[in-house]
């Protein structure tokens, strides 16, 4: 085992590891998005037990650290007879966790749609799911976008926690490379830069979306935001 200086090979190793960070983030977005839609629908469903189930689910995944959820999935899988695989554990955990956060985001924007829309749909004879699909969600989508993109930034950063169950992504690659080069400033500096380049554009986009929605919302509501205090 030779000691190496931080050079192009090591930089390549970090960049290759970034693929896994991006992959995990996309899985979280896709899985979490789908679960989030279901959870949000349950949250506003007409049946109280469904609402409570969704509320409990959200409370659990938002009210406990994601690291603990990861450990439970990783070690717990062996109880159920599955090989503890960091990727499977991470994919499941990030999807479920994302589902809770997206569920809250989606529900918030669903709630922002005027109640009159629900009543009008009932008057037209539409049941719950068609109402949601055809009337409510299209209007809610515009409000959902800024917090959704904002949460994507969170997801990318949170993938770093998966390194603590041994999943090879950028943060784990950082410690591995640092053990070979022992040049922490270069290693962690480069890694910070890579994360920054992944997250900052998303943050800026989220800010832009928020401003666009804000203009629309300020026109729609009667009270200007300034007097909110």
Partner 1 sequence: MPNRLKRVLAGLALALVAMLPAVAVAQTVDEIIARGKLIIAVDTTTPPYGFLDAELKPTGFDIEVANKMGEALGVPVEFVTVTSPGRIPALLTKQVDAVVSIFSITPARAIQIDYSIPYAGQSAVVIAPKSTAISGHADLVGKKVGLTRGTAEDGILTAAAEANPGIEILRFDDYASLLQAMVSGQIDAMGGGDYGEIYLKKAQNGDDFEQKYKLKTFYFGIGVAKGNDNLRQWLNTWLFTLKSDGVLADLSMKYRNQPLPDLPVF
Partner 2 sequence: MQTALQFGPVLIHLDRLLVGVWQTIQLAVLSILLGTVIGTLGAIGRSFGPRWVSWPIAAYVELIRNTPLLIQLYFVFFTLPLIGLKFSSGTAAILALSIHLGAYATEILRAGVQSVPVGQIEAAKSLGLSSYRIIRHVVLVPAVRAVYPALSSQFILQLMGTSIVGAIAAEELTAIANNLVMQTFRSFEVYIVIAVIYFVLVQAASLVFAGLGRLLFRWKN
For partner 2, give the closer residue by CB, 70 or 137. Answer: 70
Judged by CB under 8 A, the stretch of 37-45, 88-96, 130-138, 151-159 that binds partner 2 is 151-159
Cβ–Cβ < 8 Å for 107, 40: yes
Measured N-to-C along each axis, helices 137-158 and 8-43 cross at an angle, to the nearest 10 degrees, of 140
Residue 125 binding target from partner 2, partner 1, none, CB below 5 to 8 Å by type? none
- CA 174 to CA 169: how far, in whole Å? 9
- What is the C-alpha to C-alpha distance for residues 141 and 103, in angstroms, rounded to an integer? 13
CB of 82 to partner 1, least distance (A): 5
Q: Which of 27, 40, 90, 96 binds partner 1 (CB under 8 A)?
A: 96
Instruction: Note whether 76 and 93 are within 8 A (CB).
Output: no
Q: Does the footprint of partner 1 cover residue 92 (CB under 8 A)?
A: yes
- In this structure, are residues 164 and 70 in contact, taking their beta carbons and an 8 Å threshold? yes
| Residues near partner 2 (CB under 8 A) | 59-60, 63-69, 71-72, 75-76, 78-79, 153, 157-158, 160-161, 163-164, 171, 174-175, 178, 184-185, 188, 191-192, 195-196, 199-200, 203, 225-229
């Amino acid at each position: 085992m030779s000691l190496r200086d931080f050079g192009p090979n090591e930089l390549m190793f970090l960049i290759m590891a970034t693929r896994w960070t991006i992959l995990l983030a996309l899985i979280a977005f896709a899985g979490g998005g789908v679960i989030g839609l279901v959870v949000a629908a349950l949250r506003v469903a007409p049946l109280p037990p469904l609402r409570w189930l969704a509320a409990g689910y959200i409370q659990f995944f938002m009210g406990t650290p994601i690291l603990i959820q990861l450990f439970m999935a990783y070690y717990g899988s062996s109880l159920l007879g599955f090989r503890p695989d960091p990727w499977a554990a991470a994919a499941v955990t990030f999807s479920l966790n994302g589902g809770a956060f997206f569920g809250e985001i989606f529900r918030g924007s669903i709630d922002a749609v005027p109640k009159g829309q629900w009543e009008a749909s009932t008057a037209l004879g539409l049941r719950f799911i068609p109402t949601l699909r055809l009337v409510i969600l299209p209007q809610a989508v515009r409000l959902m976008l800024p917090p959704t993109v904002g949460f994507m930034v969170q997801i990318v950063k949170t993938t770093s926690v998966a390194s603590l169950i041994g999943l090879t992504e950028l943060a784990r690659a950082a410690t591995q490379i640092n053990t070979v080069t022992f040049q922490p400033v270069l290693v962690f500096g480069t890694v910070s830069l890579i994360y920054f380049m992944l997250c900052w554009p998303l943050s800026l986009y989220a800010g832009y979306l928020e401003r666009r929605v804000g203009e629309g919302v300020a026109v729609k509501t009667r009270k200007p935001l300034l007097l909110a205090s």
